[in-house]
Amino acid sequence: MTIEDFSCVDCGVKNCEARNSEYPEFCPTAALTEEEIQKVTDLYCNDEMNQKVSVASAEIENDHYCQYTRVQEIVEFAHKIGAKKIGIATCIGLLEESRIFARILRVNGFEVYGISCKVGSVDKVEIGVPACHTEVSGPVMCNPIMQAMLLNKEQTDLNVVVGLCVGHDSLFYKYAKGLTTTLVTKDRVLGHNPVAALYQARSYYRKLMQPQEKEEGK
């Protein structure tokens, strides 16, 4: 790698946060012009929803730092932005967790509409998935595009993703019109705590520091 390849993930200074030092030579912030920064800052100031979301997020972070769980933060955030109807885009394997979350939301005065990932019940082979790749996970495909479309139809004020698979969550975010946040990020191995692999990357999960073998033909 050359210095031109470096980015924020290679920085140990974090001057953009403290502003008490100097920016590294490769720093994206240092490369920005005042006009570029102001143009984006105006998006926070001049767009009502952008400002509402940004202010609500900052207030929650400051007032409940290391006190609120993510469930509590979502409830507080929804109140602060004036959301009335909340959509839940859930993995079918986490329906029980989503039912509990829905009860929490309803107790707090929200209308809730949840859609499972298997909605529409379409076979994977119909969209080109080889049959050999359905033997473990089953023949019925996840349908995040339909999840998004149905929640769009319900005109939800805020959507919450609960455990959609990698890639399926990407499609949901792509097609959802409503503001979306995430409660659960799926990791079947680590009990939906994917950051644990990073914490253990120099010990139990040091194999992650080696290139993964690509499947033949990929």
Closest by CA position to 147, among listed 170, 175, 166: 175
Q: What average pLDDT does the structure give for the chain? A: 95
Closest by CA position to 88, among listed 151, 155, 152: 151
DSSP state, 43?
Answer: H
SS3 percent helix, strand, coil of the chain, rounded to 5, is 50, 10, 40
Give the number of other Cβ atoms within 10 Å of residue 149's Cβ: 17
Residues 19-55: tens digit of each pLDDT = 999 999 999 999 999 999 999 999 999 999 999 999 9
Residues 87-129: tens digit of each pLDDT = 999 999 999 999 999 999 999 999 999 999 999 999 999 999 9
Q: pTM of the entire structure?
A: 0.93
Cα distance from N-terminal residue to C-terminal residue, the chain: 25
The rounded distance, in Å, linking the Cα atoms of 81 and 34 is 30
